[in-house]
Amino acid sequence: MKKGFLWGAKAVVFALLISSIYLSYTQSNDPYRFFTGLGSEISISPNDDRLLFSYYTNGNEQIYSSSISGKDVQQLTTSSETRSHTPRYSNDGKKFLFLAKKADANEQNVLNVTNADGQTPQKVSDDSLHVTDAVFSKNNQQIYFIGMPASDLGKLEGTAEGGSNLYVADVQTGKVKQLTKKDYFSMGDLAVDDDDVYYTVFNEHEELYSYNLKANKEQRVNYNKLTGDIYETTFTPSGDQVAYTAVSKESENSSLYEYELFLFDIQSNKTEQLTTLKSSVNSPVFFHKQNKVIFLHDTAWAAQPEEYKLKTIDLKTKEIQEVKLSVPKDTNNSALNKLVGYIGNGYTIGLLYVVLLSLFTYSFHKNKHKPYVISIISLSIAIVGVVASFVTAAVFDPWVGIAIGTLSIGIAACSIILFLIAFVIKQVTTTHNHSL
């Protein structure tokens, strides 16, 4: 192999490796940067004739509405600087709320409310709060929402000064009041009736809590059969049933949990599994006038970005149907997104790493007869990385430690392959030299 060609190959592979690492980094920070597809939250109008959903177009997430069949799609928000998501209809259908944030991962969600046609949007929460969920009161005069200090976004676990709490905002005046002062690590899945606001709280596992609006008192909801980790909880309009997602029994002992849809009847205290999709179900919502639930099915579970299909299930027949939304398809962007995904894939990075170091291995063996030097250096880096991951996890941040450990294990695997390649290079060149 000519020296000039060898150095040219090294330069090309090195450039590809740097590009792959860069794309992997940008994708890990924002996997939706080039994405076109459904967002993760939906809402149904009070008379069951319209849907609210968020939709990405080339990474720009905005709020749309459609007929219940997925036709007559209308874009309701149009910001080019912020992503709008998590829409919720008011109980009279005249308004909806939504959250908006800049694309950066550490930017806070701001609560907004607007007319049903998307006109005259108004900001509800200020820049001091990061809002994660919100819902209208039954009389539509208040909005209950979950918020945490925006200053705590991006901080390492254990260093944040505050946590999540329940707030209420007056729709007319915009006045905001904090209702709880518990600073929970995690809260979500807001629901409301005439007397209580319901939400889930993480205390070793997800638990359902209620806040009584008359007594201004919080308590855990004790449904005997509603135990364990529950997610995406939502109540029927009558309040007698709860839909939620949970890990299926079949996947409890597997390496990848599968989240199915369940239905809990409060009066009979019985739970029924509704789906066996073997992936992940998100954002279940009850119809108001039909015995159905609409939900999002993540067909790419557990990859990023999430790729949802909108589906309904009849609670009597258990028939599942897909709702096909008449949204514009961006085929060019889809191809670009897949290409970026392939280039920024961890396996691609590993392959390029092995190819690059294999070229250096060949050079070292040819010039200095030391084929294993590069493999030994690579394995040494992996060993140091594993040790550093334990130290980082124990002293600083467990998640950073896990990330370093995962990277180090990947380098170790590549190093083993490099040892095999070095052995082959040595044998082939030795045989070739003997033949001469």
The yes-or-no verdict on residue 350 having pLDDT over 70 is yes
- Residue 64 sits in the same domain as residue 21: no
- Residue 276 sits in the same domain as residue 139: yes
- Residue 152 sits in the same domain as residue 22: no
Give the pair of three-digit tokens for residue 246: 């949970």
The pLDDT assigned to 27 comes to 63
Domain CATH for 60: 2.120.10.30
% pLDDT > 90, the chain = 57
How many separate domains does the chain show? 2
The yes-or-no verdict on residue 433 having pLDDT over 70 is no
- Residue 312 sits in the same domain as residue 204: yes
The pLDDT assigned to 167 comes to 97
pLDDT band at 245 (very low <50, low <70, confident <90, very high): very high
Range with the lowest mean pLDDT among 81-90, 281-290, 344-353? 344-353
- Residue 269 sits in the same domain as residue 235: yes
The pLDDT assigned to 177 comes to 95
Structural domain ending residue among the three candidates 331, 365, 392: 331
- Find the domain containing 88 and state its range: 34-331
pLDDT band at 319 (very low <50, low <70, confident <90, very high): very high
The pLDDT assigned to 106 comes to 72
- Residue 246 sits in the same domain as residue 347: no
The answer to whether the beta carbons of residues 59 and 81 sit under 8 Å apart is no
The yes-or-no verdict on residue 80 having pLDDT over 80 is yes
Residue 260 is which amino acid?
E
Q: What is the pTM of this model?
A: 0.78
- Residue 350 sits in the same domain as residue 295: no
Q: In Å, how far are 129, 144, 193, 383 from 158, measured between CA atoms?
A: 19, 27, 34, 28
pLDDT band at 19 (very low <50, low <70, confident <90, very high): confident
- For every residue of 344-410, DSSP letters joined together read T-HHHHHHHHHHHHHHHHHHHHHHHS-TTHHHHHHHHHHHHHHHHHHHHHHHT-HHHHHHHHHHHHH
Phi, psi dihedral angles at 411 (to 5 degrees): -65, -40
**Gap between the Cα atoms of 11 and 189, Å rounded:** 51
The answer to whether the beta carbons of residues 342 and 74 sit under 8 Å apart is no
Structural domain ending residue among the three candidates 331, 363, 392: 331
Q: In Å, how far are 55, 60, 88, 277 from 65, measured between CA atoms?
A: 10, 16, 11, 26
- Residue 211 sits in the same domain as residue 69: yes
> For helices 398-435 and 346-368, what crossing angle results, to 10°?
40
Structural domain ending residue among the three candidates 276, 297, 331: 331
- Residue 139 sits in the same domain as residue 208: yes
| Closest to 75 in 3D by CA, of 63, 85, 83 | 63
- For every residue of 219-285, DSSP letters joined together read EE---TT--S--EEEEE-TTSSEEEEEEE-GGGTTSSS--EEEEEEETTTTEEEE----SSEEEEEE
pLDDT band at 341 (very low <50, low <70, confident <90, very high): low
Mean pLDDT of 87-92: 97
The yes-or-no verdict on residue 353 having pLDDT over 80 is yes
What DSSP character marks residue 156? P
Kindly tell me the sign of the dihedral angle through the C-alpha atoms of 15, 19, 20, 25.
positive
Mean pLDDT of 267-289: 95
217-231 pLDDT tens trace: 999 887 766 666 889
Mean pLDDT of 339-346: 71
Spell out a b/e string for 303-333, using b for 16 or more CB atoms within 10 Å of the CB, else e: eebbebbbbbbebeeeebeebebebeebeeb
The pLDDT assigned to 29 comes to 65
- Residue 62 sits in the same domain as residue 138: yes
177-203 pLDDT tens trace: 999 999 998 899 999 988 999 999 987
Average pLDDT of the chain to the nearest whole number: 88
- Residue 112 sits in the same domain as residue 222: yes
- Residue 261 sits in the same domain as residue 296: yes
The pLDDT assigned to 213 comes to 93
The answer to whether the beta carbons of residues 116 and 109 sit under 8 Å apart is no
The pLDDT assigned to 295 comes to 98
The yes-or-no verdict on residue 410 having pLDDT over 80 is yes
147-168 pLDDT tens trace: 999 988 876 555 556 789 999 9
The pLDDT assigned to 66 comes to 97
